[in-house]
């Protein structure tokens, strides 16, 4: 603006016309500046472009062919609610409990391993496509195969269809587990037909999608299913290089009152060792304790191994990538530069939403918004809740999550709700009596839930309430 001797607001208006909601101190890329120049009738010459951020210390080289060894497949279970995803995961875990361990594995780290015919399969425990989409939205693709659970007595339902779309969009092969075959109303053929109607052709229907009839409840067909997963995995020729610094994805993370941040990492390449320094998203630390899915302390984790680690300085987000690095200093530097970048992005985004609002208010007249603050016990569920709620947006009412995080509802959340007219939603977390009293004083609503679908239901109803009555 200074150089061109044009007012700042004129430039901002010009950018708005181009669909870019910029602020006064935002950096613009070359293409945008050139477009802006054209709009303002000026020739713009870009002499020097800002360099991409290079994160020194990250081992990003490509593996050589001769370094790659076979690795275990990583599986996500998807399907309609109540079709038996949780039961199936339980049944799968039970096939693997040896006599000595017969209390079952109570440890929950967000992923588990089973062995069949001496071969390992890794299951991500967070069932449902929500977790899948949250992770994918953050750029993480860890699933090799999706197991689609369809109840034989209920057949294809809305979330079955959604799951199919997600697997297809992610280009992840599917195996269908037709569950509840022990039930009187079970009809396997109908499931196959309904799947075919949705473009999923199982083998009997001339397609190449494997389907396996199972009963999670009776433990029937589980071994068949696991064998089919191995067969499908063989086709994929999954490989990784165990001889390099580990990298992978954060599956789950939470804050433990006494132990501090706890994260479940899935090593997808390299070998992770206890004592190593890691950077995970915008946080870093040295691995103090590393445990496997059974809760046993381990020293090394090869590719396709889920582990829980202690030692990070903060709670990373599900879907964040992680890397082991040379030492703690490198880890800290990378984490700090990412934090800096995130702060800049948040500033730019917040400013642009305000402008966007302004813009849409000018265009559409008035917009109604439902402001929400979401707090939950683990990042995975918070992410899942947000992405489900954002899908509820209608033309007239917009869901606006103004703040979210892992942990209990705090006084600062109440204050934020007060200034922004928001409702606070707590998932598996409760406010302390003091915070509740503060909220009551301020007439702020704190709603706590244990089931995600109840949140969606209530918000949907609240949105309907906000709509103008139709005549």
Cα–Cα distance, 403 to 396 (Å, whole number): 22
Closest CB 218 distance from ligand GDP, rounded Å: 6
Q: Does 85 bind ligand GDP (CB under 6 A)?
A: yes
Query: Among the candidate windows 36-44, 53-61, 176-184, 417-425, which touches ligand GDP by CB under 6 A?
Result: 176-184
Query: Among residues 112 and 277, whose Cβ is nearest to ligand GDP?
Result: 112
Q: Does 157 bind ligand GDP (CB under 6 A)?
A: no
C-alpha–C-alpha distance, residues 265 and 280, integer Å: 9
* Residue 441 neighbours by CB distance under 10 Å: 10
Q: Whose Cβ is closer to ligand GDP: residue 77's or residue 382's?
A: 77
The DSSP H or E segment spanning 124 is strand 119-124
Q: Does 345 engage in binding with ligand GDP (CB under 6 A)?
A: no
Q: How far is the CB of 40 from ligand GDP (least distance, A)?
A: 57
- Which region holds residue 432: left if phi is over 0, alpha if psi is between -120 and 50, else beta? beta
Three-state SS for 189-220 is HHHHHHHHHCCCCEHHHCCCEEEEECECCCCE
The SS3 of residue 322 is strand
- The DSSP bridge partners found for residue 278 are 285, 324
Binding-site residue numbers are: 79-86, 125-129, 179-182
- Judged by CB under 6 A, does residue 217 bind ligand GDP? yes
Closest approach, Cβ 92 to ligand GDP, in A, equals 12
Query: Which pair of structure tokens corresponds to residue 256?
Result: 């433990």
Least separation in angstroms between residue 178's CB and ligand GDP is 10
Interface pick for ligand GDP out of 14, 87, 211, 269 (rule CB under 6 A):
87
Burial readout 299-314 (b: 16 or more C-beta within 10 A, e: otherwise): eebbbbbbbbbbbbeb
Task: Verify binding: residue 179, ligand GDP, rule CB under 6 A.
Answer: yes
Residue selected from 216, 324, 330, 409 as contacting ligand GDP according to rule CB under 6 A: 216
221 binds ligand GDP (CB under 6 A): no
Q: Which is nearer to ligand GDP, 81 or 355 (CB)?
A: 81
Calculate the alpha carbon distances from 423 to 52, 417, 430 in Å. Answer: 40, 6, 14
Tell whether residue 143 is a contact of ligand GDP (CB under 6 A).
no
Among 76, 134, 215, 321, indicate the residue that binds ligand GDP (CB under 6 A).
215
Q: Which stretch binds ligand GDP (CB under 6 A): 76-84, 270-278, 411-419, 438-446?
A: 76-84
Q: Is residue 402 near ligand GDP by the rule CB under 6 A?
A: no
> From the CB of 158, what's the least distance to ligand GDP, in Å?
13
Phi, psi (5° rounding) for residue 431?
-75, 155
Question: Shortest distance, CB of residue 183 to ligand GDP, whole angstroms?
Answer: 5
**What residues contact residue 412 under an 8 Å CB cut-off, 6+ apart?**
none
Is residue 229 within 8 A of residue 73, CB to CB? The reply is yes
For ligand GDP, which is the closer residue by CB, 83 or 254? Answer: 83
180 binds ligand GDP (CB under 6 A): yes
User: Which residue from 20, 130, 114 is spatially nearest to 73, judged by alpha carbons?
Assistant: 114
Per rule CB under 6 A, count of chain residues that contact ligand GDP: 16
Q: What are the CA-CA distances from residue 275 to residues 176, 266, 305 (Å)?
A: 41, 17, 17
Instruction: Determine the Cα angle at 166 with ends 164 and 169, to 5°.
Output: 110
Residue 81 as a binder of ligand GDP (CB under 6 A): the answer is: yes
Q: How far apart are CA 376 and CA 386, in angstroms?
A: 11
Phi, psi of 404 (to 5 degrees): -150, 160
According to CB under 6 A, which residues from 110 to 139 bind ligand GDP? 127
Beta bridge partners of 285: 278, 312
Q: Which residues pair with 405 in a beta bridge?
A: 375
For the CB of residue 113, give the shortest distance to ligand GDP in the complex, in Å: 20
What's the min distance (Å) between Cβ of 372 and ligand GDP? 25
Q: Which is nearer to ligand GDP, 221 or 248 (CB)?
A: 221
Cβ closer to ligand GDP: 82 or 203? 82
Does the protein bind ligand GDP through residue 183 (CB under 6 A)?
yes
Query: Which one of 51-59, 74-82, 164-172, 302-310 is the stretch in contact with ligand GDP (CB under 6 A)?
Result: 74-82
166 touches ligand GDP by CB under 6 A: no
Q: CB of 85: closest distance to ligand GDP in angstroms?
A: 3
* CB-nearer residue toward ligand GDP: 111 or 279: 111
Q: Minimum CB separation from ligand GDP for residue 149, in Å?
A: 6
Radius of gyration of the chain from its Cα atoms, rounded to whole angstroms: 25
Choices 63-71, 215-223, 392-400, 414-422 (CB under 6 A): range interacting with ligand GDP? 215-223
Helices 158-169 and 129-137, axial angle in degrees (round to 10): 30
Rounded Cα distance, 38 and 43, in Å:
7
Task: Return d(Cα 304, Cα 122) in angstroms, integer.
Answer: 7
* Residues flagged as binding site for GTP: 79-86, 125-129, 179-182
Residues that bind ligand GDP (CB under 6 A): 79, 81-87, 127, 179-180, 182-183, 215-217
């Amino acid at each position: 603006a200074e150089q061109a001797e044009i007012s700042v607001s004129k430039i901002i208006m010009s950018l708005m016309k181009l669909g870019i909601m910029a602020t006064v101190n935002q950096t613009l890329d070359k293409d945008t500046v050139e477009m802006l120049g054209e709009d303002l009738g000026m020739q713009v010459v870009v002499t020097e472009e800002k360099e991409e951020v290079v994160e020194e210390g990250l081992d990003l080289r490509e593996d050589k062919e001769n370094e790659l060894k076979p690795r275990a497949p990583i599986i996500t279970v998807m399907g309609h609610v109540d079709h038996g995803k949780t039961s199936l995961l339980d049944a799968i875990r039970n096939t693997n409990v040896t006599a000595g361990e017969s209390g079952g594995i109570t440890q929950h780290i967000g992923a588990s391993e089973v062995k069949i015919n001496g071969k390992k399969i890794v299951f991500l425990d967070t069932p449902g496509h929500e977790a899948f989409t949250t992770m994918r939205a953050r750029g993480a693709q860890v699933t090799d195969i999706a197991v689609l659970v369809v109840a034989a007595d209920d057949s294809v339902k809305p979330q079955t269809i959604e799951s199919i779309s997600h697997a297809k969009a992610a280009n992840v092969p599917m195996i269908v587990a037709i569950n509840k075959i022990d039930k009187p109303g079970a009809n396997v053929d109908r499931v196959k037909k309904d799947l075919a109607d949705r473009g999923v052709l199982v083998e009997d229907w001339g397609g190449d999608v494997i389907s396996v009839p199972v009963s999670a409840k009776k433990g029937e067909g589980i071994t068949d299913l696991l064998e089919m997963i191995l067969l499908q995995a063989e086709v994929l020729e999954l490989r990784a290089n165990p001889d390099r610094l580990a990298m992978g994805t954060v599956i789950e993370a939470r804050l433990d009152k006494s132990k501090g941040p706890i994260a479940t990492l899935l090593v997808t390449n390299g070998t992770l060792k206890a004592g190593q320094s890691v950077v995970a998203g915008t946080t870093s630390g040295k691995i103090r304790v590393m445990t496997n899915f059974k809760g046993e302390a381990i020293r090394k984790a090869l590719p396709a191994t889920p582990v829980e680690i202690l030692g990070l300085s903060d709670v990373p987000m599900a879907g964040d990538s992680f890397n082991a690095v040379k030492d703690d200093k490198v880890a800290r530097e990378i984490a700090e530069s990412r934090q800096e970048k995130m702060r800049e992005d948040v500033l730019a985004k917040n400013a642009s939403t305000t402008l966007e609002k302004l813009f849409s208010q000018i265009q559409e007249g008035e917009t109604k918004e439902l402001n929400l603050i979401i707090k939950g016990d683990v990042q995975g569920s918070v992410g899942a809740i947000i992405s489900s709620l954002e899908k509820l947006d209608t033309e007239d009412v917009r869901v606006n999550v103004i703040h979210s995080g892992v942990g209990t509802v705090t006084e600062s959340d109440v204050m934020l709700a007060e200034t922004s007219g928001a409702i606070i939603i707590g998932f598996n977390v409760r406010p302390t009596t003091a915070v509740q009293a503060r909220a009551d004083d301020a007439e702020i609503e704190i709603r706590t839930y244990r089931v995600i679908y109840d949140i969606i239901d209530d918000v949907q109803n609240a949105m309907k309430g906000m709509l103008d009555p139709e005549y």
